[in-house]
Amino acid sequence: MRAFLGSLLFGAAGVGIVCWVGLTFFMPGRQHAQGVGCATCAQARKVHGWCDACAVGYVAGLPIKSRLLYDTMDAHGHQLQVDRMPCEGCRRLAKTGGFCDANHIGWRNGEAYFSRLTYELSGAYYMAPSQIACRTCRDNADGAGWCDACGYGMIGRFAIASRADFDAGRRGFERLQKAIELSARCDYCAMAMVTDTDCFRCKTVFKDGELVASGAASTSAGN
């Protein structure tokens, strides 16, 4: 299925990860301390964008230094040739909206999102700090948390009203946090963690965001 999706997005030049279609921003001139006082970063946090000047991207407000990981998350929707997709669930959900657990694709307004986190964020509402009056919600906006008093959860500064949708999004948020940490060691392992695939360089294998096989174990299993 992943190879099929690659053909939809890339044609013959597919490389196994979704292409970067996300909004990027360019600011010439002086370099910034990463994100500090940078108007481009401030805007990028709202739209899951990339700042060229600071060399950092944002998804759910999390700063991502690895361009490969940022591009892999690809938090913006895509138009696919749905009638060519073999998955009946995806063909149906492309019209009605919803998340296909079999293929890990979410559908909203006819557009495809390739992770649960980015799918849930596509239906979330961005709240500026000045709009968040509740202390609990302000604290939640620094990470991810639910407020019973207000009846919604925050993933970064993005509000989600459905508890089930919030819980699903939070799991994706926590996975991305781990992947960001992992990217300091290996970009490809970080990519594999968020896509449930393997790292060709380290020979690690991930499932449900967890390491299930290391390089040594994978090599032994193949012998």
pLDDT band at 98 (very low <50, low <70, confident <90, very high): very high
**Number of Cβ atoms within 10 Å of the Cβ of 169:** 26
Where exactly are the structural domains of the chain? 2-121, 122-170
Instruction: Supply the pLDDT for residue 35.
Output: 58
What does pTM read for this prediction? Answer: 0.80
Residue 32 has pLDDT above 60, yes or no: no
15, 6 contact by CB (below 8 A): yes
Please state, rounded to an integer, the average pLDDT across all residues of the chain: 86
Residues 6+ apart with CB under 8 A from 110: 79, 94, 95
| Phi, psi at 49, each rounded to 5° | -105, -175
Q: How many residues does the chain have?
A: 223
Instruction: Supply the pLDDT for residue 214.
Output: 84
Digit-coded pLDDT (tens) for 36-90: 679 999 999 999 999 999 999 999 999 999 999 999 999 999 999 999 999 999 9
